[in-house]
Amino acid sequence: MKLSWRVILLWTLPVLVIGFFLWQGTFGNATGELGKNTASTRMTYGRFLEYLDTDRVTSVDLYDSGRTAIVEATDSQLDDRIQRLRVDLPMAAPELIAKLREANIPLTAHPANKDGAIWGLLGNLIFPILLIGGLFFLFRRSSNVPGGPGQAMNFGKSRARFQMEAKTGVMFDDVAGVEEAKEELKEVVTFLKQPERFTAVGARIPKGVLLVGPPGTGKTLLAKAIAGEAGVPFFSISGSEFVEMFVGVGASRVRDLFKKAKENAPCLIFIDEIDAVGRQRGAGIGGGNDEREQTLNQLLTEMDGFEGNTGIIIIAATNRPDVLDSALLRPGRFDRQVTVDAPDLKGRIGILDVHARNKKLAPEISIEMIARRTPGFTGADLANLLNEAAILTARRRKEAITMLEINDAVDRVVAGMEGTPLVDSKSKRLIAYHEVGHAIVGTLIKAHDAVQKVTLIPRGQAQGLTWFTPSEEQGLITRGQLKARITGALGGRAAEEEIFGSAEVTTGAGGDLQQVTSMARQMVTRFGMSDLGPLSLESQEGEVFLGAGLMSRSEYSEEIASRIDEQVRVIVENCHDDALRLIRENRMVIDRLVDLLIEKETIDGEEFRQIVAEYTHVPEKEQYTPVL
């Protein structure tokens, strides 16, 4: 409706404008009967006087209260043929009349036509009126369109910002790898489909379910699947859309949303990113945000305002349950929490199966192999991975996706787009030493993940990359593994120092050092892996609110703070020494590997290990391979 009105207006306005000019043509000058007597040729007043003086004028008709004259004159150059010419007369030319009389030229004055005058007036007014009216109308209309320019004009009224899908078309079959969550949510489908089963025995149907999990794990998808399975409409809004420029808008949006939902019950309301509105009230420096609090209060009021058996179920999603206001989590509100975690190997296989349904895979591709290559990938990453692979396949004009495209797509999803290789230069050599430094340290330390490949082809931000075989997250990481990771991360910088000297080290190690520091710090403050003893000195989460960093400082004394710094330094220094030693002891093989890397751009892990084994003992890695 809205759109079609705009279209109509868009078309009618130009038509009106053109119409106006046509109208002006016929009626606008209707103050005389000029219309009927129009003379197309014009003549200047001076020329007219000249004609008068040479007796060539035969008659004069005056229009427009004497401002315009149609002059009949003979043209000497054209056998004295009669010409009709139009002359614009200067105002007040009484001597002209006298002159005409004197010359005895027939003079007719045409009075203004009263009727025509009114039409003329209307003609002159109608355009501005239509224009203003049209603009007004357009403005009102456009302000109804979400995000339209008129938004600021009606902040008192809320404009629905939620989407409604009558049928989501998503089923539980489309969601994989989150079996526990699915089991729990199947019950919600039953609440929506057969509430009487629960109310008959006096059970109170829960109103809200909170889905907790990192981005891309399928929370939105799950919510849609619930609506799809239950066959009810799906209302969705993002928490950030509640929080608007103007105070009170968020609250009235909540009201609107619930009003619409009640009209469509049974239905499902999905609030994404609920932490945007649902944060702990009054938290952070400078107090809370009034607008957000109002919105949150309205949400709580609405949730209290209906009974569970009205057939509305609210599903909210967040990856920060720790910041939510406790009032939201009370019984009768979001009293159920369902965790949606990144999938394990089996889960990844399931998700890949779902997304491979509509893709052409070469027969040699094994979904399990892809899943093994992608620990830590979320559902969204995996969907993206298969899509990238399909795009690459199309670009390479192949019939079906092969393992080659899958591997390239994994690299792209993990590290970004491939850049153009560096030209040979000193800096390319330095990068080669840096990467081989990481790789050799990683290879020679038993507790480190195995090298998968080393490459000098830039990707994303990185100039060169060393890939390690990703290990399936086992949950627990030992102190030895952490130290190995720190040492490996320092391998790049250590190689730069050892080969080029401390004056030549580059900024390229910045990212490595950041990781190193953060790992070492966590060893001291969170995992009790230093001489400070088994103390937890920092809370798990990072910055929650503005100013949280300032406040958490007071958890321990200044003295402890400086001892933490000391311990972090000790860990990093020890690891740095180890890395330097490994580089120094293996200088020969490093030089050979660097030459090979510059020549080939990429060395894979197997070849790398074989070359290193010619010079020194390579420890066997314990690879944890989950069984299905």
Task: List, by residue number, the catalytic residues.
Answer: 435
Q: Is the Cβ of residue 168 or residue 217 nearer to ligand ADP in the bound state?
A: 217
Q: What is the DSSP string of 224-279?
A: HHHHHHHT--EEEEEHHHHS-SSTTHHHHHHHHHHHHHHHT-SEEEEEESTHHHHB
How many angstroms separate the Cα of 174 from the Cα of each of 194, 225, 452? 23, 8, 33
- Give the x-and-dash track for 383-422 against ligand ADP (CB under 6 A): x---------------------------------------
Q: Give the interface segment with Mg ion, choosing from 212-220, 358-366, 418-426, 435-443 (CB under 5 A).
A: 212-220
228 scored as a contact of ligand ADP (CB under 6 A): no
Cis peptide before 195 (omega within 30 of 0): no
Q: What's the CA gap between 336 and 607, in Å, rounded?
A: 52
The entry of ligand ADP, Mg ion, Zn ion, none near residue 120 (CB within 5 to 8 angstroms by kind) is none
Which two structure tokens, joined as six digits, stand for 196?
A: 């009487």
CB of 455 to Zn ion, least distance (A): 12
Give residues with Cβ within 8 angstroms of 100, minimum separation 6.
52, 60, 107
CB of 441 to Zn ion, least distance (A): 11
CB of 211 to Mg ion, least distance (A): 9
Which sign, positive or negative, has the C-alpha torsion 369, 373, 378, 381?
A: negative
Kindly provide the residue ranges of all beta strands, DSSP E only, lying in 25-176, ordered along the sequence: 42-43, 57-63, 68-75, 81-88, 107-109, 163-165
Q: Is the Cβ of residue 269 or residue 482 nearer to Zn ion in the bound state?
A: 482
Q: Give the interface segment with ligand ADP, choosing from 155-163, 218-226, 441-449, 561-569 (CB under 6 A).
A: 218-226
* Residues in 294-323 that interact with ligand ADP by CB under 6 A: 317
32 scored as a contact of Zn ion (CB under 5 A): no
Contact 48, 99 (CB under 8 A): no
Q: What's the CA gap between 54 and 43, in Å, rounded?
A: 15
> Nearest to residue 178, comparing CAs of 223, 218, 226?
218
Which two structure tokens, joined as six digits, stand for 333?
A: 């509100």
Which residue of 93, 329, 380, 548 would you call a contact of ligand ADP, by CB under 6 A? 380
Query: How is residue 451 annotated by DSSP?
Result: E
Contact 58, 82 (CB under 8 A): yes
State the number of binding residues for Zn ion (CB under 5 A). Answer: 2
Which residue of 28, 116, 208, 216 would you call a contact of ligand ADP, by CB under 6 A? 216
Which residue of 106, 128, 133, 215 would you call a contact of ligand ADP, by CB under 6 A? 215
State the number of binding residues for Mg ion (CB under 5 A). Answer: 1
SS3 224: helix
464 scored as a contact of Zn ion (CB under 5 A): no
Q: Give the interface segment with Zn ion, choosing from 497-505, 508-516, 558-566, 572-580 (CB under 5 A).
A: 508-516
SS3 75: strand
Give residues with Cβ within 8 angstroms of 34, minimum separation 6.
63, 64, 68, 70
- Give the x-and-dash track for 162-201 against Mg ion (CB under 5 A): ----------------------------------------
Which residue of 32, 195, 208, 218 would you call a contact of ligand ADP, by CB under 6 A? 218
* DSSP bridge partners of 82: 74
* Residue linked to tokens 């609090």: 293
Q: What's the CA gap between 250 and 270, in Å, rounded?
A: 16
Count how many residues are written for the chain: 628
Tally of CA atoms within 13 A in the half-sphere of 199 that contains its CB: 11
512 scored as a contact of Zn ion (CB under 5 A): yes
Q: Give the interface segment with ligand ADP, choosing from 5-13, 92-100, 208-216, 464-472 (CB under 6 A).
A: 208-216
CB of 216 to Mg ion, least distance (A): 8
The entry of ligand ADP, Zn ion, Mg ion, none near residue 354 (CB within 5 to 8 angstroms by kind) is ligand ADP
* Residues in 144-163 that interact with ligand ADP by CB under 6 A: none
Q: Is the Cβ of residue 68 or residue 220 nearer to Mg ion in the bound state?
A: 220
Q: Is the Cβ of residue 177 or residue 311 nearer to ligand ADP in the bound state?
A: 177
CB of 220 to Mg ion, least distance (A): 3
> Nearest to residue 613, comparing CAs of 504, 500, 497, 451?
451
Q: Which residue minimizes CB distance to Zn ion?
A: 492
220 scored as a contact of Mg ion (CB under 5 A): yes
Measure the CA angle with vertex 169, ends 168 and 172; round to 5°: 100
Q: What is the DSSP string of 287-313?
A: ---HHHHHHHHHHHHHHHTS-GGGSEE
Q: Is the Cβ of residue 177 or residue 458 nearer to ligand ADP in the bound state?
A: 177
175 scored as a contact of ligand ADP (CB under 6 A): yes
State the residues that interact with Zn ion by CB under 5 A.
492, 512
Contact footprint for Mg ion (CB under 5 A): 220
Query: Site residues (CB under 6 A) for ligand ADP?
Result: 175-178, 213, 215-221, 317, 351, 354, 379-380, 383
